[in-house]
Amino acid sequence: MIYFAYFILAFAGLQLLTAFLNYIFRANYSVYRTVNNELVTILIPARNEEKNIGNILNDISEQSYKSIEIIVIDDDSNDRTREIVLEKSLSDNRIKLIDAGLTDGSWLGKNHACYQGASSAKGKYLLFLDADVRLGKDVVSEVLGYLEKSRSVFLSVFPKQVLINDGVRAVVPIMNYILLSLLPLFLVRYSRFTSMAAANGQLMLFNAEVYRAFEPHKKFKHEKAEDIRIARFLKKKKFNIACLTGNDDITCRMYDNYNDAMDGFSKNVVEFFGNSFIAAMLYWFISLTGIIWTAIFLPAWLTLIYFIMIIGTRILISTTSRQDITDNITMHFVQIYNLGLLIFKSITHKINKSYQWKGRNIT
C-alpha cells in the first residue's frame, strides 16, 4: 500500500507540473491580428437557442473583421430560434438561415448541422461556434491571425466559462481541471503524438480547403465528442493544429443549473481519458482518496506536500482558465465527487443507450 501512496504523490506532482506548463506557455491569441481580408464563414448550429442566438449574432455583426458570411443552421428548433435569426438578417444581410432537419439515424444532430452548413459555405476559413458563446469585437481577427501565424489548419479555443451559481460551479470546472492537469496544451501544436490532441466544439476554426478534403463532421458523424476525434484525426494526418485556453473576450454560459451540467458533461466526460472508463475511474479514485492514502501510509511532511501540490494545481488551473481560485479550492472535493457521478452516469447511459441532447435521443 505504501507504494500506491507514493504513486499518488508522484501523480500529484505530475499534475502540478502539467498545470504549471499550461500556465507558463499559454498562448495569447489577442496579440495577433490578420492582415488579410479573406472571407470567413461563421457557422452556428442551433437547436432551440432562442435565449442565445440573438446575442451571438449581435456579437458577430459587430466584429471589427468585416469579410464574413454568417450561416445559422436550424436543427429542428421548436422555439423562436428561426424567427430571431430572420429578424437579425433584415439588419445584416450577411446572415443566412438554412434548415438541417435530421432524417438519417446514422448522424448525430449537431454533427449533421455543422456538415450541412459547411456544404453551403463559401469562405476560405470556416469558424464553427456554439450559440451560447459570446465574442469580443476583435475575436475573429485575432483567432484568424493566430491560425495564420502558427501555420495551422485547425484551431480550437476553450472559452472562459460563465459560472452563475454553486450548482454550475460544482460541475463545469471539472473539465478544465482534467484537461489542464493531464495535457500540456502547447504539445497539441508541437507534438506529433495523436494522444496529445484536444479541441472544444464551442469554437473551432478550420482552413476550408482541409475541411472540404476530409469532411470531418461527416467522418465522425456518430461521435458525441467529435471535436476531440477531429483534432486527433488531423494530427494523425500530420497537419499543424492548435488548442488554446480563452481570454475574457471569448465566454460561454453552457448551463444554468446543476442537473443540466451533469446531463451535458456525462455525454463526453470519458473522452478526456481516451474513451477509457478504467482510466477515468482510476483518475477519479486517486483524486478523491489521495489525501487518505498519503495520510495513512506516508510521513506527515509528505502528506503536507501532497496537499500543497493539490492547492497549487488548483490555483494554476483556475488562473489559466480565468475561474475563481477560492471557489475551486473550497469546492475541490465536491467537484471530484461529482466527477465520479458523471462517470457513473456515462456508464449507465452507455449500457442503456439513453444519451440525450436537447430533447433528442442519441446513442
pLDDT for res 358: 61
CA distances from 335 to 177, 219, 291 (A): 10, 34, 15
Q: How big is the CA angle at 20 (ends 23 and 156), to the nearest 5 degrees?
A: 45
Spatial contact of 44 and 263, defined as CB atoms under 8 Å apart: no
Cell of 179: 484537461
pLDDT in tens, 35-58: 999 999 999 999 999 999 999 999
- The domain 29-173+182-254 is placed in CATH, from the list 3.40.140.10, 3.90.550.10, 3.40.50.620, 3.90.228.20, at 3.90.550.10
Q: How big is the CA angle at 204 (ends 21 and 315), to the nearest 5 degrees?
A: 30
Q: What is the mean pLDDT of each run of 10 residues along the chain (363 residues)?
A: 94 98 94 94 96 97 96 93 95 94 70 93 97 97 96 96 95 96 94 90 97 95 88 95 95 93 88 88 96 96 97 98 96 97 88 62 57
Considering Cα of 175, then 176, then 182, then 188, what sign does the dihedral take? Answer: positive
pLDDT in tens, 58-76: 999 999 999 999 999 998 8
pLDDT in tens, 278-318: 999 999 999 999 999 999 999 999 999 999 999 999 999 99
pLDDT for res 356: 57
> Looking at this protein, which amino acid is placed at residue 33?
R
State percent of the chain over pLDDT 90: 83
Rounded to whole angstroms, the Cα distance separating 214 from 188 reads 20
pLDDT for res 101: 72
Q: How big is the CA angle at 268 (ends 72 and 203), to the nearest 5 degrees?
A: 35
Residue 332: closest CA among 209, 99, 173: 173
User: What DSSP designation does 30 have?
Assistant: G
Rounded to whole angstroms, the Cα distance separating 68 from 217 reads 22
Question: What count of other Cβ atoms lies within 10 Å of the Cβ of residue 40?
Answer: 26
Domain borders along the chain are 2-24+267-349, 29-173+182-254
